[in-house]
Amino acid sequence: MEKSRYIAIEGPIGVGKSSLADLLAKELNGKTLIEAVDDNPFLPRFYGDIKKYAFQTQLFFLLSRYQQQKETFQQDLFNTSIVSDYLFAKDRIFAYLNLDENELCLYEQVYRLLDTRIPKPDLVIYLQASTSVLLERISIRNIDYEKSVKEDYLSKLVDAYNRYFFYYNDTPLLVVNTSEIDFVNNPDDLSNLVKEIKSIKGGAQHYIPIASR
């Protein structure tokens, strides 16, 4: 793979998107684009009552992601690689999972206005993990509002992500199963993953690593 100018990392909550974005940006001498998740005032209430707070949470994320990407890509990035811990287009995964029919209709109108103004990544990395592994990682990082995440919701989210990326063909895609590796604490796992990322030629590829520890 030639040096990508814009890499987006995706996957369900707890899979390690932000951690990999930081590590990969260092490897590529680039910059990170980290979503300001904690700035969403509706998120803590969302996990306590998904139906009640889904639309407010979703719309806030959609608009804040758009604003962040717009500001980032207005800068001079010709000599800089960007590694983001989210893909703007994935916003619809959560919308279709959580919104009712009327909310979804309004959401789609706003989404279509914004999506065409956002640049597509040169590469998307989709991180997978089993629901049990995700629950363990969420528990370890011990964020207050994430303690309300229920296994049933997380399982549905994992399925929704898998369906979305099964049909995804907008950009080159690398699907990485992270259930058996720890690229944060194990240098060999990270090194092997970076080699895989740099070897991407195009299309969709799958990487199922064996734990090195």
Active-site residues, by number, are 85
d(CA 205, CA 4): 16
| 3-state class (DSSP) for residue 20 | helix
Token look-up 């919701």 returns 153
SS (H, E, C) 53-118: HHHHHHHHHHHHHHHHHHHHHCCCCCCCCEEECCCHHHHHHHHHHHCCHHHHHHHHHHHHHHHCCC
